[in-house]
Chain A
């Protein structure tokens, strides 16, 4: 009984601690999704059009969020020239990888607390 209570308290502490480390501007549904989807592509990166069709959002919304992540230094844009066309490829920076790991740890600690309280 006492151990379970201690564990529960520890988990709450971990949740609060990991929450403090998170950049709240990166934690919106679309920004988390962009980071996760780009991470899925390893170092190959994702084309703008691939992101757009996966997320099914307007250009305005996608561009605004990509610009924000670019400004925060979590992703970088590479312009690839393919004969007549220019493609924008987005890849995670080391900072972006770190932030995504922090978000993932936060989600795990959140889950641990929620499961114990259920």
Chain B
């Protein structure tokens, strides 16, 4: 699984982060959620994730980052990101990382990440499920997440799962018409 961990390290390195996983619970939490989201963005990562308890959570990933703590902290990786990976890192940065940054409230930031990754997981499991049902399931699984966190998480999750190929010329034209309405 070192190859998968190397991909995660490559992403952290690209985002300019310095993950102190040896001493910081929040960094380990951050890596769990962002790795799942990278996979949801179609990054080829084979860690198996579960939703209950600490979801989204991968025991294999946990075992890997404990086994290679120095490698993660020093951002050592043999993986060279492809142009498609870079595109994913950028989308992840714009769609998730920049919007979860909460100054002076690290817990709120982690909870929002948890809300997004949980929503993405449930929506991928049952794509036909409507937003209200996903909201209700998250509130059962994670009652400690506030309503606002779940709603924002759901909204960002929809963007994470949106495939650019859905944006057909016809839809693009309609969006442009609506954009012009305000001008």
Contact = CB atoms under 8 A, between A and B. Distances in A.
Interface string A25-51: 000000000000100111111100110
A22 interface: no
Contacts of B106: 82-83
Contacts of A89: 25
A40 B52 CA distance: 11
Given A42-B66, A44-B25, A82 B144 contact: no
20 contacts: A40-B54, A41-B53, A41-B54, A42-B59, A42-B62, A42-B66, A43-B62, A44-B28, A45-B25, A49-B144, A52-B144, A54-B52, A54-B53, A82-B26, A82-B106, A82-B110, A83-B105, A84-B105, A84-B107, A89-B25
The contact size tier of chain B is 20 to 34
Contact of A85 (B53, B54, B107): B107
Q: List 7 tightest A-B contacts by C-beta distance, closest first.
A: A82-B106, A49-B144, A82-B107, A85-B107, A42-B62, A83-B106, A80-B25
A43 B21 CA distance: 12
Nearest to B60: A42
Contacts of B28: 44
Contacts of A45: 25
Contacts of A50: 53-54
Nearest to A37: B53
Given A45-B25, A83-B105, 19 more contacts: A41-B53, A41-B54, A41-B57, A41-B62, A42-B62, A44-B25, A44-B28, A52-B144, A53-B143, A53-B144, A54-B52, A80-B25, A82-B26, A82-B106, A83-B106, A84-B104, A84-B107, A87-B107, A89-B25
B66 A43 contact: yes
Max chain B Cβ within 10 angstroms of own Cβ: one of A37, A43, A46, A50:
A50
B142 interface: yes
B25 A83 contact: no
Nearest to A52: B144
B175 interface: no
Interface in B20-64: 25-26, 28-29, 52-54, 57, 59, 62-63
Contact of A83 (B53, B57, B104): B104
Interface in B82-107: 104-107
Contacts of A42: 59, 62-63, 66
B62 A44 contact: yes
B54 A83 contact: no
A85 B105 CA distance: 8
